Amino acid sequence: MTELIDGNAVAADVRAGLESGIETLADAGVTPGLATVLMSDDPASETYVSMKQRDCEEVGINGIHAEIDPEEPAEELYATIDDLNGDPDVHGFLVQMPVPDHVDTREVIRRIDPRKDVDGFHPENVGRLVAGDARFKPCTPHGVQKLLEATGVDTEGKDVVVVGRSDIVGKPMANLLIQKAPGGNATTTVCHSRTKDLAAKTRAADVVVAAAGVPELVTGEMLSEGVVVIDVGVNRVDADNERGYELVGDVEFGSAKEKASAITPVPGGVGPMTRAMLLYNAVKAASEQSGVPVDLP
């Protein structure tokens, strides 16, 4: 019987686990502050930001939001970042990607104070992650670790294949999995668009993390019996329904479910965990900046 890994339930547990830390901070007169910055009129980005702000309100984090017209020069965004860097009530913030073409994404990331970089994308934080001394683990890979832990999957000594090499998921996921630490100690292979015979790699895996951004790339024929499948992808494809589309992952769910011992659905798998771990990082940032120690789940 294949276990369906419920990301909503695990995310709820993480959020509940943050309550004591938020209360500890409140007793010391500190309210964690998390800001979002949007320089886009993309409906999906607007939805993501509103969900993050709602999450903040529900757990007792002070949510701050800044919107910048995407037609404005890049300097407007940089000035907003500088203001947030200097605001003592903002402990962490993120710039919702993508930004307009005339804005240098790397400059945006470099400009964020590493102590407030709750996405974990600043080069300093990437370096600390690779060195095994992470300030903030990137939210999606950290969420995947939590899902595996909640499912009882010990990655120590396991063969794990990560399909995808993005800076947001693939690379940090591989780094976390090879760390000499809980949730790590795996033998990790990173596959990508230039990998020869992807199916041979995935069939040899105990755990497959699909994060390539290609709809239903990984099929059941590419998996071994009993594999654990974590599907990070969220892809909109045409469908004959009222909306005209449906959301699918990077894994062909129906066929993969026949092989897997456990699998995440799309939606309802990794997505809720990404948002939960953002709250986790915001509370951690508030603790470190205020000097008030807290227990984190």
Could you give the residue numbers annotated as active site? 52, 96, 119
Residue 170 has a CB neighbour count (10 Å cut-off) of 24
- Going by C-alpha positions, the residue among 277, 294, 278 that lies closest to residue 26 is 294
- Going by C-alpha positions, the residue among 194, 192, 199 that lies closest to residue 162 is 192
Dihedral of the CA atoms 19, 22, 28, 31 (nearest 10)?
-150
DSSP class of residue 263 equals E
Decide: helix, strand or coil at residue 3.
strand
Report phi then psi at 232, rounded to 5. -85, -20
Task: In whole angstroms, give the CA distance from residue 30 to residue 21.
Answer: 11
Bridge partners of 93, per DSSP, are 35, 117
Concatenated DSSP letters of 75-87: HHHHHHHHHHHH-
First to last CA, the chain: 29
Q: How would you list the strands of the sheet with 62-67, edge to edge? A: 62-67, 33-38, 92-95
DSSP class of residue 285 equals H
Q: Letter for the amino acid at 22?
A: I
Task: In whole angstroms, give the CA distance from residue 205 to residue 159.
Answer: 5
Sequence-ordered list of residues with C-beta below 8 angstroms from that of 41, at least 6 positions apart, any chain: 70
Task: In whole angstroms, give the CA distance from residue 293 to residue 280.
Answer: 14
Task: In whole angstroms, give the CA distance from residue 143 to residue 148.
Answer: 9
